Amino acid sequence: MRQDLITDPEAVAALERADALHTALSHIVLEGGDLAAIAEAVGAALECGVVFTSTDGRERAAHLDESQRESLATADLLDPTGRVRVERINPDGTAVGDGEALVRRVVAAGVDLARLVALRQDGRIHASDVHALERAAIVAALLVTRVEAITAVENKYRGDFLRDVFLGRAGEEEYVAEHAQAFGWHLDRPVMVVVAVLDPDAMAALGPDPEDRRAWQDRFAHAWRQVSATVDPGIASVAFSREVVTLVPVDLDAGADAHAAVDRIIAAVRGDRGGGRIAFSAGVSRVSRGLNDLPEAFRQAQRAVEIGRRVHGGGSVTRFDQLGLHRLLALVPDGAELTAFAADVLGPLAERTPEAADLRETLQVLLDTNFNVAEAARAQFFHYNTMRYRVGKLQRILGPVATDPHLRLDVAVALRALEIVG
């Protein structure tokens, strides 16, 4: 068998490529290279396309030409945002036109760090090349572990600084701007603050292990940082305990939609939700025109995401300026005051019971239809007489809500207040 291996030209070429790669990787490790250097070395030595991605397929470094990217897109292995659909690539090989792609996990100490995807357009990837790729994945794991340890410290320092900015205790404007520039951030410009949080239902599905939850939170924060950097390297994006905060710049002079950049970033982070990507909600502030506006913009974004999830459910993107009446109610700092107001106006309908919730739903439909009983009955699929009975019951509880415009306004506001306080 060894004689066959030596005389097989393809096997000999593969061994030569593996030896060249081993030498290149050794130099990269000794010289403190990065993933981009590994990708280039692997691609050059094995004569194939190489891309390192996050565990959910977001590109981190690549050695791919346009033809190779087009091959992946044609094989439906790239989503519209450019994410590599690593979940669709088989470790044993997936056909890509006349060639093949395969994926290897980049793992260190049992921690899943990244993915290594290799692509050959003109045939299968040789078994010896696969072994070489696995060695490259080991070297990549060492580099990623080193970089992530340094990044974790830097991100905590950046997060603490931005938190101080939001609390108004970071210092004078000139100092804050200069300190931010040391991080590569530009804070002294118009921005929208975006607060993104993982949805509770999605987090609950991950199980009770706090390590798993932290890993998902770290992955989520990294996704925001990586996507934001592709839009503008000066965007500040940091992770707090349960939320990721990103300051998206707004060009007020261009006359373009101020929300366009925010929408692009959110769409790119969300992708097609493949690769184990988890659901999240986001809140967007008004435009902050300077450092002094940032604390208020942060509070607006927090309130927007909180209210948006209560009113619209998970996966929502809520803008503070579009909250309508909720926007005014959100400015009431005391939730207990909103609860008391709702209880005073709605009486038993404010209780947390299925019967009260059912009657509140009917009440909202009646308000939406201007108390047109026939239209409300059709909207709720009730018989006309059933809806008349419900109207009578509601008026016995609330008073003449069908005819008193002032009472009707109070009732409408009370229903919105209940939505905010959950």
pTM above 0.75, yes or no: no
Say what the pLDDT of residue 422 is: 65
Average pLDDT of the residues in 378-399:
89
- 419 and 367 Cβ atoms separated by less than 8 Å: no
The percent helix, strand, coil of the chain (3-state, each to 5) is 60, 15, 25
Say what the pLDDT of residue 237 is: 92
Tell me the pLDDT band of 206, cut-offs 50, 70 and 90.
Answer: low
| Token couple for 37 | 């250097």
Whether the predicted pLDDT of 67 surpasses 70: yes
- 98 and 122 Cβ atoms separated by less than 8 Å: yes
What Rg value do the Cα atoms of the chain yield, rounded? 28
Strand arrangement of the beta sheet that strand 236-239 belongs to: 236-239, 243-249, 191-198, 280-288, 317-319
Whether the predicted pLDDT of 311 surpasses 50: yes
Say what the pLDDT of residue 3 is: 46
Average pLDDT of the residues in 16-41:
78
Tell me the pLDDT band of 126, cut-offs 50, 70 and 90.
Answer: confident
Q: What percent of the chain has pLDDT over 90?
A: 19
Average pLDDT of the residues in 211-225:
82
* CATH number, span 335-421: 1.10.10.2840
What letter would DSSP give residue 112? E
**Tens-digit pLDDT profile for residues 251-265:** 776 555 678 888 889
Tell me the pLDDT band of 275, cut-offs 50, 70 and 90.
Answer: low
| Token couple for 26 | 């050794």
Say what the pLDDT of residue 68 is: 92
* CATH number, span 2-147: 3.30.450.40
Average pLDDT of the residues in 305-320:
84
How far apart are alpha carbons 86 and 106 in whole angstroms? 13
How far apart are alpha carbons 224 and 304 in whole angstroms? 18
Q: Is the torsion defined by CA of 55, 59, 61, 67 positive or negative?
A: positive
* CATH number, span 167-330: 3.30.70.270
- 134 and 127 Cβ atoms separated by less than 8 Å: no
- The average confidence (pLDDT) of the chain is 84
Say what the pLDDT of residue 116 is: 93
N- to C-terminal Cα separation, the chain: 71
| Token couple for 211 | 């390590």
What letter would DSSP give residue 145? H
How far apart are alpha carbons 56 and 227 in whole angstroms? 13
Which residue shows structure tokens 């357009």?
121
Whether the predicted pLDDT of 50 surpasses 70: yes
User: Which amino acid, one-letter code, is at 138?
Assistant: I
Q: DSSP letters of 311-325?
A: HH-TT-EEEGGG-TH
Tell me the pLDDT band of 418, cut-offs 50, 70 and 90.
Answer: confident
Provide CB contacts within 8 A for 266, sequence distance 6+.
194, 196, 282, 317
Bridge partners of 156?
Answer: none
**Tens-digit pLDDT profile for residues 165-189:** 898 888 888 888 888 888 889 888 8
- What is the residue extent of each domain of the chain? 2-147, 167-330, 335-421
Q: Exposure string (b/e) for 168-189, b if CB count within 10 Å is 16 or more?
A: eebeeeeebbebbeebebbbbb
Least confident residue range of 5-14, 100-109, 140-149: 5-14
Per DSSP, the three-state class of 351 is: coil
Whether the predicted pLDDT of 164 surpasses 80: yes
Tell me the pLDDT band of 1, cut-offs 50, 70 and 90.
Answer: very low
Strand arrangement of the beta sheet that strand 94-96 belongs to: 59-63, 49-53, 111-120, 99-108, 94-96
Whether the predicted pLDDT of 11 surpasses 70: no
Long-range CB pairs of 350-358 (<8 Å, 24+ gap) are: 350/414, 350/418
Whether the predicted pLDDT of 10 surpasses 70: no
Whether the predicted pLDDT of 412 surpasses 80: yes
Bridge partners of 95?
Answer: 100
Say what the pLDDT of residue 250 is: 87
Say what the pLDDT of residue 52 is: 93
How far apart are alpha carbons 198 and 129 in whole angstroms? 39
Tell me the pLDDT band of 104, cut-offs 50, 70 and 90.
Answer: very high
- 340 and 347 Cβ atoms separated by less than 8 Å: no
